[in-house]
Amino acid sequence: MKQFLLVFIGGGFGSILRYYISKNLNAYYSNFYLGTFLVNIIGCLLIGILIGLSLKNNYISENQTLLLATGFCGGFTTFSTFALESNILFKESSLLQTSLYMGFSVAIGILAISLGLWICKML
């Protein structure tokens, strides 16, 4: 039961922060959804660091990993919103804008996870 509570609490905080960032940044950059993009990239970097710390000599505990990686990062990042916004861009904007948003989100997200893991190896 404690594990479910940790994921629940972390997910709640992550979701609130995602909502705040996306609401504020997406309003200014409607042709790119900058808020969702940044949230997903930051979340990828953060989960890379957290998993890296977890794997490196058990620097963070299983409960901390559940709270922060599974809960917070799971609530903070949002693939479903990314897919919806990609669909909207595809219907309302150019194919180039849609491709850039999707390509940058996936490629930079993967690089951010790799960077997070690399940072932990260097510690």
Q: Which residues are annotated as a binding site?
A: 74, 77
Q: What is the DSSP string of 29-84?
A: -TTTTHHHHHHHHHHHHHHHHHHHHHHTTT-S-HHHHIIIIIIIIHHH--HHHHHH
Question: Binding site for Na(+): residue ranges?
Answer: 74, 77
From CA 19, how far away is CA 120, in angstroms rounded?
28
